[in-house]
Chains A and B, each alone.
Chain A
């Protein structure tokens, strides 16, 4: 998941990047990719029937009046095969 903000003055701010996946480990704790090597997992996936709220706070340059927040959720079937699951934007403003 990539969260970015674009200000009315043209600045692009990378707010956050979060990954949800399993990390496969061998018995010595080394990350492994082959199924035959993996003996334990660190579970960083999205659990079933659960909602996760990710909260971010980001500061903007003084000359910002408005900004557009964009969140893109991508699914990677492999490092080279991605598909966009959701893309949402929201405009915010500062002061009156």
Chain B
């Protein structure tokens, strides 16, 4: 793949920026987007980027505004009487906007205010929040290593993928983990924040391991939600009717009979069969 010199220099510069920003904590969404945004990836990965833009991973904050706002307004402020700070917001953002782990406290306070404002319909707030998501950098760098205790932290500027194919644009490394369901479990499962609490946003990976794998299932999340039918980085789920139809099949049997001799009660016996073809319980997320 030919990459123009200027683009290569830009990408190299971007790579160099990452560790510095990670130490300092970024103060604005502009800065966060400049260092950890998806725009640079578009240069070479236009098709995949286009797929991702159609996915809910690209809307992982604005798509759940109601839940985030309720956590801030009713959870933190009313019930827990706790500050809307980074530690508390990361309970949600660990999955909904993981790159905010690089944000400063002041940016996190701004994000909290933006969420409430966007929920209240304040112009511009939702647009600002739409810049937060689960982008290329998250899966291919910051969250790419599942066993950080064994394999260490991801290297800045290195992008992890299933092949590890080299490119002059940036460092690459092969990741076995990125093709496993365990990789997706980072967010599609119970979340335990550093204080030891448990968050039940969804429990999908639990039923995958304990009900699907335990009964002999072998497909991975990626098999059905990426590889099948060329779904790629659109990661379709319950918001795609076709995906739900594929996940659940239904059949109907009904028989008319006249029961109770002498009385002749006209009766229908109806049997509806529902088969969950998926590798996890339905519904879940």
Give every chain B residue within 8 A of A89 (Cβ-Cβ). 252
Q: Please, which residue of chain B has its CB at the minimum distance from the CB of A18?
A: B272
Docked-complex contact B283 and A34, CB < 8 angstroms = no
Distance in Å from the Cβ of B193 to the closest Cβ of chain A?
Answer: 10
User: Which of B200, B208, B248 is within 8 Å of A24, CB to CB?
Assistant: B200
| Closest chain B residue, CB of each to CB of A73 | B250
> In angstroms, how far is the closest chain A Cβ from the Cβ of B53?
20
| Known A53-B272, A73-B274: A45·B284 in contact at CB below 8 Å | yes
Is the CB–CB distance between A22 and B215 below 8 Å?
no
C-alpha gap A20/B245 in the complex (Å): 15
Residues of B within 8 A of A28 (CB): none
Given A22-B203, A47-B276, A90-B252; A77-B238 close (CB under 8 Å): yes
| Residues B267 and A58 in contact, CB atoms below 8 Å apart | yes
Contacts of A53 in B (CB 8 A): 271-274
- Residue-wise, chain A 1-42 has the 8 Å CB interface mask toward B (1 for contact) of 101010000000001000011101000000000111111010
Q: Which of B69-77, B154-162, B171-179 touches A?
A: B69-77
Are B254's CB and A48's CB within 8 A? no
B141 CB, nearest partner CB in chain A, Å: 26
B276:A49 contact, CB within 8 angstroms: yes
CA distance A90 to B271 in the complex (A): 11
A-chain residues with CB within 8 Å of residue B55 when the two chains form the complex: none
Contact of B269 with A71 in the complex, beta carbons under 8 Å: no
Are A60 and B201 closer than 8 Å at their CB atoms? no
B67 contacts partner chain A, Cβ-Cβ < 8 Å:
yes
Output the least CB separation between A49 and chain B (Å). 6
- Would A88 and B271 count as touching, CB distance under 8 A? no
Render A82-94 as a binary contact track against B, CB cut-off 8 A, 1 for contact: 0111101110111
Query: Contact: A48 with B217, CB < 8 Å?
Result: yes
Interface of A is mostly: strand
**B123 within 8 A of partner (CB):** no
Residues of B within 8 A of A20 (CB): 274, 282-283
B207 touches A77 (CB 8 A): no
Task: Please state if B281 and A48 are interface contacts (CB–CB under 8 Å).
Answer: yes
Alpha-carbon distance between A90 and B256 when the two chains are bound, in angstroms: 11
Give B191's nearest chain A residue, CB to CB.
Answer: A35
State which residues 229-285 of B face A: CB under 8 Å. 238-239, 241, 244-245, 248-258, 264-284
Contact, CB under 8 Å: A39 / B198: yes
Residues of A with Cβ closer than 8 Å to B? Answer: 1, 3, 5, 15, 20-22, 24, 34-39, 41, 43, 45-62, 64, 66-67, 69, 71, 73, 75, 77, 83-86, 88-90, 92-95
B contact set with A: CB distance below 8 Å = 67, 70-71, 74-75, 91, 197-201, 203, 207-208, 211-212, 215, 217, 238-239, 241, 244-245, 248-258, 264-284
25 A-B residue pairs with CB within 8 Å:
A1-B274, A3-B270, A3-B272, A36-B91, A36-B197, A47-B211, A48-B217, A48-B281, A48-B282, A49-B212, A52-B273, A56-B272, A57-B269, A62-B264, A62-B266, A69-B268, A73-B250, A73-B274, A75-B244, A75-B283, A84-B241, A86-B249, A92-B254, A94-B266, A95-B258
